């Protein structure tokens, strides 16, 4: 029987959907450290129990195995809606499920927020910009998205979710926030999710060739996990007029090839760089303009790439020592 924290309790009651994922679990940990009661809602489609194992004994933490696609109820003051497969390897595996999670799942959480008078933060993504024609990407840029491509289940699902969030705010008065998350990395990443940082580190640590799709000139910017979570919490606690999208990411840009070379410089390895054809609709440039985050949240990333990569390398070194790593999937 699941516990319910009901009206009259003094703790802030927070629901984190997708709370057993990479970012969700770290968000749960940070919110618990701040003294909140946290309910983690996750159907473990891409999340994992081991990510939240350290919190299960905490009386202020509750895990509910449930999909946001199905109706859910409870008493909450705040809802962080992070539920959705987030790497191409995962969201392309079942594109219809991904789209339903983004749209139906967000609709269910908005209905819950409306019913309980809760504040809702929607985790959107830099993918809504598609393969951008504007650089760096500002929040008022509408994007360049292929509506029928292999990535569109995620891109268009998240764009639709932003529409729902905006309409619930305008027409139903729900107190909402929208964060557009750019590439994030750090300890706790799933070694099998196909993200470029985890792929490069695992390939270098295991002595396999580092796979680059395209010529490596495409750019990304990488925000460390801790910085990203602080930005999300800052947005949830921002003044109520901050209902417009806010980019959270690192504005320091790096080419994919330079990232590979940086990883190889940090890990003694016999790995070489192996160039492969570029996947469909892979964006050539991805870098946030974080002016809004600086202005409205007083936020900017603090952890430099070398430091963050060092922490992440050590995390994967321990993972590899404890178990075998399967073949590395395509990079994101």
Give how far the C-alpha of residue 21 lies from the chain's centroid of Cα atoms, to the nearest Å. 9
Report the top-level CATH class of 13-184+223-248.
alpha beta
Report yes or no: 47 and 19 within 8 Å, Cβ to Cβ: yes
Catalytic one among 154, 185, 213, 224? 154
The pLDDT tens digits along the chain (332 residues) read 244 444 445 689 999 999 999 999 999 999 999 999 999 999 999 999 999 999 999 999 999 999 999 999 999 999 999 999 887 888 888 999 999 999 999 999 999 999 999 999 999 999 999 999 999 999 999 999 999 999 999 999 999 999 999 999 999 999 999 999 999 999 999 988 889 999 999 999 999 999 999 999 999 999 999 999 999 999 999 999 999 999 999 999 999 999 999 999 999 899 999 999 987 777 888 999 999 999 999 999 999 999 999 999 999 999 999 875 554 444 44
The verdict on whether 80 is a catalytic residue reads: no
CATH code: domain 186-221+251-282+304-322 is: 3.90.25.10
> How far is 303 from 300, CA to CA, in rounded Å?
10
Task: List all residues 6 or more positions away from 56 whose beta carbon is below 8 Å from its beta carbon.
Answer: 63
Q: Which residues pair with 265 in a beta bridge?
A: none
Q: What is the DSSP letter of 54?
A: G
> How far is 260 from 258, CA to CA, in rounded Å?
5
> How far is 127 from 143, CA to CA, in rounded Å?
9
Report yes or no: 127 and 157 within 8 Å, Cβ to Cβ: no
Extract the tokens encoding 78.
């705040």
> How far is 174 from 116, CA to CA, in rounded Å?
10
For residue 119, what is the enclosing H or E element? strand 119-125
Extract the tokens encoding 311.
């922490």
Which is nearest to 109 in space by CA: 36, 196, 168? 168
Task: List all residues 6 or more positions away from 60 whose beta carbon is below 8 Å from its beta carbon.
Answer: 11, 32, 35, 36, 37, 38
Q: Checking phi first, is residue 251 left (phi over 0); if not, alpha (psi -120 to 50) or beta?
A: alpha
3-state SS class at 237? coil
Domain extent listing, the chain? 13-184+223-248, 186-221+251-282+304-322
């Amino acid at each position: 029987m699941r516990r319910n924290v009901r009206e009259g309790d003094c703790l802030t009651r927070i629901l984190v959907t997708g709370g057993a994922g990479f970012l969700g679990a770290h968000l749960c940990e940070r919110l618990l450290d701040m003294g909140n009661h946290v309910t983690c809602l996750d159907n473990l489609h891409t999340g994992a129990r081991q990510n939240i194992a350290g919190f299960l004994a905490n009386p202020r933490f509750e895990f509910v195995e449930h999909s946001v696609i199905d109706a859910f109820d409870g008493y909450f003051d705040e809802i962080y809606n992070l539920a959705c497969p987030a790497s191409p390897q995962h969201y392309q595996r079942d594109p219809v499920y991904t789209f339903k999670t983004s749209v139906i799942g967000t609709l269910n959480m908005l209905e819950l927020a409306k019913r309980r008078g809760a504040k809702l933060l929607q985790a959107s993504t830099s993918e809504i910009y598609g393969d951008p024609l504007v650089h760096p990407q500002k929040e008022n840029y509408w994007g360049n998205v292929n509506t029928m491509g292999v990535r569109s289940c995620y891109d268009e699902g998240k764009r639709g979710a932003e529409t729902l969030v905006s309409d619930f705010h305008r027409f139903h008065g729900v107190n909402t926030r929208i964060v557009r998350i750019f590439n994030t990395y750090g300890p706790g990443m799933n070694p099998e999710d196909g993200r470029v940082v985890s792929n490069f580190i695992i390939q270098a640590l295991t002595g396999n060739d580092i796979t680059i799709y395209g010529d490596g000139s495409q750019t990304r910017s990488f925000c460390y996990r801790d910085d990203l979570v602080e930005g999300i919490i800052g947005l949830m606690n921002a003044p109520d007029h901050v209902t417009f999208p806010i980019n959270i990411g690192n504005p320091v840009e790096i080419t994919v090839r330079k990232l590979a070379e940086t990883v190889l410089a940090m890990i003694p390895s016999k790995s070489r760089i192996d160039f492969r054809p570029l996947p469909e609709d892979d964006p050539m440039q991805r870098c946030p303009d974080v002016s809004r985050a600086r202005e409205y949240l007083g936020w900017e990333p603090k952890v430099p790439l070398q430091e963050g990569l060092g922490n992440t390398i050590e995390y994967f070194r321990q993972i590899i020592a404890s178990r075998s790593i399967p073949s590395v999937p395509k990079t994101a």
